[in-house]
Each structure stands twice: as C-alpha cells, then as structure tokens.
Amino acid sequence: MKKCKLIVALMSCVTIMAACNTTTQQTTEPTLAVSKTPLSRSESLLHTAVQLQIFHEGQEAAMEEAYTFIKEMEQLLSTNLEGSDVYKVNQAAGNEPVKVQTATYDIVKQAQEMSQKSEGKFDITIGAVTNLWRIGSTDARKPDESEIKAALPKIDYRQVELNDSEQTIFLKEKGMVMELGGISKGYIADGVKRIFEKHGITTALINLGGNVVAMGSSPSNPEGWNVGVQDPDEVRGEVVGSKRVIDGTVVTSGVYERFLEVNGVKYHHIIDPQTGYPLDNEISGVTIFTQSSIEADAYSTSMFLFGIEKGLAFIEAQEGVEAVFIDKNQGVHLTSGLKDTFKLTNKEYHIAHE
C-alpha cells in the first residue's frame, strides 16, 4: 500500500520530559521537552491561510526561519511574478534553457518523476490551459473551445528538458507554460519540516492551507494527531471522518476548493490534461496519507484523473501511501491500510464496499 482542506483537531497538551541518551563513546543532544502550549503563528501566504505550531518553548528563531523560507519559495516559484524562476522558464519556452536556483530545479525534477509514475495524469505543463480558465482568480472565465484545442498540444511533461550538470530547465515548445501550483505547497511543507528538524523540533503541526504535516504525536494522545477529512460538499468546517497520524503528512484535493460557475454549471479547478476541461467524474474528494508532502500533493490531484477503481489499485501498489476517495453519492472508499484506522463520523456518508 504501499488538496477539500483538512481540519486538525488539536488536543490539550501534556509535558513530555526530555531524555538524554549517553554512552561511553558519545553523548547525543537532549531531546526538547514538549510544551503544554504551542508557539503558534498564522499568516496569509501561498494564496491561502498558513499556520505553524511548535510544541516546544524558545523556538522563535525556528518559526522565523520557517516563515522566511515560505516567503522566499512563494517568490521563487510564482508563475506570474516577473523575475521568478518559473516566470523566466516560461518566457524562454521554445528558445533556450534557463538556469534556475537549486530549489526550483529540485521541485521540477520531482514533479517530472511524479508525472512519469502517474502516467501523465500529473503534468506541470498544464499551465497552457489553466491560464485560459484562471479558476480561483477574479478574472476566471470559460475559454472558447478553439482556445482549448490550440493549447492542448502545449501540454506534455516529456517536452521539459532538465540538465543536471547545468541546472537548467528548457520547455522545448514555444507557448508551453510550467505551473507548479499542484506540487509547490507540498515541497514547501517538506522544507519547513526540515527546518524544524534542524532546530531539534520533534512535535509540531505544519498547515499550508490544508497541506498538513504532523511531526511527532499529539502531546495529549500517544495514538497521534486527530486529522479530519473535509466534507467535499461543504466549503469549510464539516468533516467526513478522521484518522490518527504520527509523523506523517495528509493532503486533500476536492472539487469544493475553487470553481467557476457559468450559466448554472460549476467548473472546478482540476483540469484534465487530455481534454483541457475540468474533470467531471464520480469523485468529489481525495485524501492522501503518506510521509512526503510533495508526493501527497501530486497524488491527491492525479488520483482524480485515475478515477476510484484505478486510483485505489494505483495507491495499493505504492509503498507507504494510503488514500480516501469520496464519491458523489457520499460513499467513502478506503485503501486496505485505512480500513481499521479511519473513523467515519459523518452520518450522511457511508463506507463503500468494493
């Protein structure tokens, strides 16, 4: 087993005593004591609400470093900000490779790996079409069919050329547009976790608008943080069920997140790279449980395109990954590793038996 937003139920905390493990050969750094009340900070970044909570005292420097990192990545990976790495790569499409910063190169390389693994269901060159729809923006619109047809040939992750030695990215066709919105929050969340670990932090919650990383366990419950899965039929606040998470990441995508309504028809933000139109199938939400937030980010989107049956089979074949699929008939479909750990709490939903 191998992005709906999330609600993290936070329990009251207890103090965990620091431990110092000493041998005759070496002495390790003492573990930080877990604080009863977390250091918490929230800001509006990445076009969403970002909240970081550190359950140790005296970690203001770590918190500041984390937010500095988030802001730097937001600038670096922006599609529309003139001068960002992504902007420069897109402007040079069909002309020349562009040397980028290490972080940009790393995220694009990981995205390409995810594209191959998902058989192109996840594709960072989807920007040629998403720039037409602009769902989630004030200037969102339904493009003409001719516009979509003209943009479709520009979507092909295999036309992204990476040069490891030069650290360059080249979009081979003019008009191609790289868009990292489907994976950037996951990459940034993983980066915040690494910053926290560098500071010795073991117990924290990282929530980038629903991309949740839970470090350690809940101070009040050794079984883990209680992470709820958003009801895809509600904009905010209601959950379908929950699962206890220890040292893991949870990312959910849902049709409720961003949509455009035209003549009574809702078009959501998940675009099919094969058709150029928002996907319309039986799925209303997908939640991924795993260890890597960037991986979970990509999977949560691509599983919409797989559909429930093929999506379940795909996730079952991945090591250390579990998933919840919610269909439009209020059915909850679970991969095998969640059947005994996912708790259904919403009476309007039911566990689907495959």
% of the chain exceeding 90 in pLDDT: 73
Cα gap 302→322, rounded to integer Å = 14
> What pLDDT digit, counting tens, does each position of 120-130 carry?
999 999 999 99
User: Is residue 205 very low, low, confident or very high in pLDDT (cuts 50, 70, 90)?
Assistant: very high
Tokens of 334: 């679970």
Number of alpha carbons in the 13 Å side-chain half-sphere of residue 236: 4
> What local confidence, expressed as pLDDT, does residue 119 receive?
87
The Cβ of residue 271 has, within 10 Å, a number of other Cβ atoms equal to 27
> What local confidence, expressed as pLDDT, does residue 28 receive?
52
Lowest mean pLDDT among 18-32, 104-118, 121-135, 297-311: 18-32
